[in-house]
Structure 1
Amino acid sequence: MQFDIITIFPDILDSYFNESILKRAQKAGKIKIKMHDLRKYAAGKHRSVDDKPYGGGPGMVLMIEPLYKTLKKIRKKKNSQVILLDPAGKQFNQKIAQSYSKLDQLIMICGRYEGVDARIEEYIDQKVSIGSYILSGGELGAAVILEAISRLIPGVLGKYESTEYETFSGKDSEIIEHPQYTRPEVFKGLKVPEVLLSGNHQEI
């Protein structure tokens, strides 16, 4: 699966994407992650990607033209979707992650400043939020979504079956995974539940 992230800070997530599971998944060819610098698609000497909002108001708004040019350039796969990271969007959850994991390409637009020119809605499939709070941009949201989806792609985790029993996964997406314990058996008087030490797999 290919992930394309449109941002004005293309290096901001490099460290995160090049560690642990995501690093191994890329090396194994299970996923591809491409960061796209929005400024490369901007016009003019200064490569401006934002401007003052019509009607007045504080802050700056990301312009529609460079976003349109970027999407036109990078949306190549038929089985693809474009989403805008937006606090007013649909709340991201495990069911959405599962549906996105069946795509060949997911393009994520990271907003900044006061937001994005509303005309972008004509060129996206969905607005998505990772929670009811405000961040400075959509990059962290893109990282959250990318990792949640990547874990569901066969071959990314050591055992694909392990995702079935995780919180919010499997047939009942409302079930929370059971508490986990490891050694030592006793720590400062706190003991591992006896049933986990019994060897009785049915009771466990």
Structure 2
Amino acid sequence: MRLDYLTIFPDYLAPLRLSLPGKAVDSGLLEIHVHDLRSWAHDKHRTVDDTPYGGGAGMVMKPEPWGEAFDALAVEPGDTIIFTTPSGERFDQRLAEDLATRGRLVFACGRYEGIDQRVIDHARSIAEVREISLGDYVLNGGEVAALAVTEAVVRLLPGFMGNAESLVEESHAASTGGLLEYPVYTKPPVWQGHEVPAVLRSGDHGAVARWRHDQARRRTAQRRPDLLAPSSIDDGSTIERAVPGDAAELMTLQRACWVQEALANPGAPIPAFHESVDDVRAWLGEWDTYVVRRAGRLVGAVRGRLEGPDGTAWDIGRIMVAPDLQGEGLGRALLEHIQAVAPAAATSYVLFTGAGSERNHKMYKKAGFRLRNDLPAPPGAVIFVKRRSRG
């Protein structure tokens, strides 16, 4: 792979010669060229910026040096030009894997208020263009982003890593379903009073694999729950995080669902019947809530949050499935999902349902929950509890 960098600060990219990228250059796996954009500025001050049309603060990078640079580097249709910009698509592992299949990447490192839009438009006429952002923040220039993208991309090239297996279970890897990586340990077995988990010293490879997968899911749920959603369901629909704009549809769904609950539990108070859109919007801010849509229609939902004296009980509630879709396994999928995304601090799951809701009782018992008549429950309801497995 050939990598070209256009920048007004060539020394900023000196780290490209260090560590594994440097070794890859020495071995011929990578070809790296850093170019000073000012080489294509012809006035005595080597000017690459000017004031913006329409007014405003800051300066804009001029188009002429960029155009000459692309010509001098013989950029062609098979190449990919990467503009590192806070207004680009967010960079992630999937994009890194895609870029690793390219033969040549040309990084255009902008500065000031950005690059004249005509440069980007022109670039699209001569090569593939990707506008890429590291995240929702602004840097002084594109060099840091170019270094980060380079690190993520070149380590995926065949022969770059000494042990290719180290790529398999990394955070965000496709092979792990995009989960964050599990905790790792090395010798000694005890350090500063902290012990390596016994399962890792057991020699039971199956138990180790289960522990690592469970830890990866827990870490992801705690630190990046967005990576756990959407989750696929058998019919191809997905479970996604709810947003405040879902409040009105959630109110409609829960009223439809609790009609059946009212019929199965005559006389029992049902708060969901009396909630307004503002009430739903308020609890959306207090609960981790997930929804399912089919053909644009919100057809299922579930919520959870930590409760209990010590904050270790994952309280599951409002498991809702549109009446016309009940019996298709959607409720079971929602129940499994809300357990999977429970934070690492959760040691048990707890939920309540109507005492007369036999259909719900069967689903919860089948999922491993136990009826606890000894625990206090809301009027007309019963409590179900399940201990969280630690693998």
TM-score normalised by length of structure 2: 0.50
**1:54 CA displacement:** 1.1
Q: Do the aligned partners of 1:77 and 1:104 also contact (CA within 8 Å) in 2?
A: no
Shift of 1:173: 4.3
The aligned length equals 203
* Partner SS, residue 80 of structure 2: strand
2:43 equivalent to 1:8? no
Q: Structure 2: which amino acid aligns with 1:95?
A: R
Q: Verify: 1:120 aligned to 2:124, yes or no.
A: no
Partner of 1:202: 206
Q: How far is the alpha carbon of 1:127 from its aligned partner? A: 0.9
CA deviation map 1:60-91 (0-9, x unaligned): 11001101111122144653201111100000
For residues 107 and 183 of structure 1, the distance between their equivalents in structure 2, rounded to whole angstroms, comes to 43
Q: Letter of the aligned partner of 1:146 in structure 2?
A: T
Which sections of structure 2, spanning at least 5 residues, go unmatched? 209-391
Task: Give the equivalent residue in structure 1 for 2:41.
Answer: 42
Cα gap change, 1:96/1:105 in structure 2, threshold over 3 Å: closer, same or farther?
same
Once the two structures are superposed, the pairs formed by residues 141-180 of structure 1 within 5 Å of their partners are 141-180=145-184
- SS of 1:135's equivalent in the other structure is coil
Letter in 2 for 1:89: G
Question: Could you tell me how far 1:169 is from its partner in structure 2?
Answer: 1.0
Which residue does the alignment assign to 1:140? 144
Sequence identity (%):
39
Give the distance between the partners of 1:98 and 1:114, measured in 2 at CA.
Answer: 30
Preserved CA contact (<8 Å) 2:169 2:176: no
Bigger Cα displacement from structure 2, 168-177 vs 36-45 = 168-177
- Bigger-Rg structure (1/2): 2
The one-letter amino acid of 2:6's match is I
Deviation (angstroms), 1:119: 0.9
- C-alpha spacing 1:107/1:66, structure 2 compared with 1 (3 Å): same
Corresponding residue for residue 80 of structure 1: 79
C-alpha spacing 1:34/1:173, structure 2 compared with 1 (3 Å): farther
Larger RCO of the pair (alpha carbons < 8 Å, separation 6+): 1
Q: Distance in 2 between matches of 1:84 and 1:174?
A: 25
Give the C-alpha shift of residue 161 in structure 1.
Answer: 2.8
Task: Letter of the 2:190 partner, please give it.
Answer: V
Secondary structure of the residue aligned to 2:89 is strand
Give yes or no for the alignment of 1:60 onto 2:59: yes
Q: What's 1:26 paired with?
A: 25
CA RMSD of aligned residues (A): 1.4
- Structure 2 counterparts to residues 177-196 of structure 1, below 5 A: 177-196=181-200
1:130 equivalent in structure 2: 134
Please list every run of 5 or more consecutive structure 1 residues that lacks an aligned counterpart in the other structure.
Answer: none
